[in-house]
Amino acid sequence: MGAQWKAKHKDLAANAKGRLFGKLVKDIMIAARDGADPNANARLRLAVEQARKASMPKDTLDRAIKKGAGLSGEVVHFEHVIYEGFAPHRVPVMVECQTDNVNRAASEMRVLFRKGQLGTSGSVAWDFDHVGLIEAEPATPGADPELAAIEAGAQDFEPADEDGATLFITAPTDLDLVGRALPAHGFKLLSSKLGYRPKNPVSAASLTPAQLDEVESFLAALDANEDVQNVFAGLGE
């Protein structure tokens, strides 16, 4: 399952697609705080590229940039909040929220975690490494992810997924440095952010199909919440 949970089943992925724009708009608005010009704002440039890849309408994209940069006359403020706990069958979970209403987010997390267990700060974080996560795809034929990881200064990498993207793992402080180095080694960046990687993931093979479905449904419900940006689950292959 890697460092970030993603819907695997087609029905879950289809439902997630409908929520994608909301998460991308929020990413764009937050990135645009540091400037409305993607050419001068690397984080915004990546967010814009992701939005375009998802076929976001240009008007929606432009509005998000202007709103985030404070050019629309609207004041937008998101608070970053982390919730920790367990999915069913003791699968550890870190939930990253960007919310304009902390009380609403807290209330909804309590409801969502009824099928699992909501923990206190630090109750689960110890079982995750705080890392930089860079998704990238080969830009040149024969690009070697292992060599690129070594040369760019990444700590580790996970082989290409079904979409052809390799996940490069960095120290939090090296995220930008590695991101700027990877293109010289044949990789095009798709996303770059800080996140969490499980130290001791629960093996999916240790769960029955019914138990795994319970975990997947729980994670999908978290991911569907409007305040949730990322769900990091300690669930391995």
> Could you list the pLDDT tens digit for every one of the 237 residues in the chain?
345 656 554 444 445 555 778 888 999 999 998 899 998 988 898 889 888 888 888 999 999 999 999 888 877 788 999 999 999 999 999 999 999 999 999 999 999 999 999 999 999 999 999 999 999 999 988 899 999 999 999 999 998 777 788 999 999 999 989 999 999 999 999 888 899 999 999 999 999 999 999 999 999 999 989 999 999 999 988
Structure tokens at 156: 């580790």
The amino acid sitting at 43 is: R
Domain boundaries, the chain: 10-69
- pLDDT at position 32 is 92
- pLDDT at position 15 is 52
- pLDDT at position 151 is 95
- pLDDT at position 7 is 54
Separation of alpha carbons 226 and 218, rounded Å: 15
Q: CATH code for 10-69?
A: 1.10.10.200
Note whether 191 and 165 are within 8 A (CB).
Answer: no
- pLDDT at position 9 is 47
The amino acid sitting at 98 is: Q
Q: What does DSSP say about strands 166-170 and 128-138: parallel, antiparallel, or unpaired?
A: antiparallel
Listed in sequence order, the residues at least 6 apart from 47 whose beta carbon sits closer than 8 Å to its beta carbon are 24, 27, 28, 31
- pLDDT at position 141 is 86
- pLDDT at position 160 is 79
Note whether 42 and 179 are within 8 A (CB).
Answer: yes
Separation of alpha carbons 24 and 138, rounded Å: 23
- Between the CA of residue 60 and those of 25, 64, 227, what are the distances in Å? 8, 6, 19
Note whether 1 and 34 are within 8 A (CB).
Answer: no
Structure tokens at 207: 């769960």
